[in-house]
A = this chain, B = another copy of it.
Amino acid sequence: MSNVSSVLHLIEPLKSETQPLRFRARQPLIRRGELPTAVWYIEDGWSARFKLLRDGRRHISRFYAPGDICDLSWLVAGAADQSVMTLTPLRAVRIDRTRLDARLRNDAALGFALAREALAEMRWQAEWLVTIGCKSAAERIAHFLCELYLRLERRGKTRETSCDFPLSQQDIADFTGMTSVHACRTLRELRNSGVIELCRRRLRIVDFSRLVRMAAFDANYLEEPMTAAGAGLAAPGHRTATPECRPAAC
């Protein structure tokens, strides 16, 4: 993902065990409140970072797919404030936190790479905040599928136009902020309209450009035209601000 010196490359010598560890599905990798002693480089399988509220509501704030590191935020001191559990059987390499932490204090290249990685993650989260914050159920799910597919494609984890998709509708719902019932209906619409196929834990993107349009998604973040100044054109309606910050709707 990074260009010159990725975190993955730099932490290579820190892998504690020669053999990656294996976890069964639906096992906790960490529980909220625990102190992480390591981060995991995920070679295979999926997991989810989530939080439970007292009344049972659950929200998933992040999925980890093969190639992800789970979780960089554990490198700041203190207890994990969200839990992580595997969704499928998982194979992951353990990277000892103490050793990584110690090296970070001396190795500028590693610190730089880690900062870059963290900042990139921040950008992704900021984008997803916007999606959760103001898009419809259909847009949220379409956006999620676009993004997921592109992420897996960059890692060579897609075949033709399809990829593994081990998530239940409950998982999708908890990630996109809706109920599983509504996720079900929304997915059905997407399938009925012919933009995706989804069965037996496999997702196939039939019409990517249409999915992108349905998502109000832009891989290069093209949503906002940002014409030269956008000035001089006021937007109508309640959601209006001063001209220089509110280009006209289109």
Verify B246–A82 contact, CB threshold 8 A: no
Number of copies: 2
Contact B180 A238 (CB under 8 A): yes
With a 10 A CB-CB cut-off, give which of A62, A123, A240 has the most chain B CB atoms: A123
A133-169 interface bits toward B, Cβ cutoff 8 Å, 1 = contact, 0 = none: 1110000000000000000000000000000000000
Contact A130 B54 (CB under 8 A): no
A/B interface sample: 24 pairs, CB < 8 A: A26-B242, A27-B244, A51-B224, A52-B245, A54-B216, A58-B134, A58-B239, A61-B130, A73-B123, A83-B226, A85-B244, A105-B108, A105-B109, A105-B112, A106-B108, A107-B108, A115-B115, A118-B122, A121-B122, A122-B125, A129-B132, A132-B132, A133-B177, A180-B239
Contacts of A72 in B (CB 8 A): 119, 122
Partner of A85, one of B53, B175, B245: B245
A247 within 8 A of B: yes
Contact B76 A116 (CB under 8 A): yes
- Checking B110, B126, B225 against A61 with a beta-carbon cut-off of 8 angstroms, the contacting residue is B126
Interface size on A, residues (CB 8 A): 85
A73 partner, pick from B114, B126, B226, B235, beta carbons under 8 A: B126
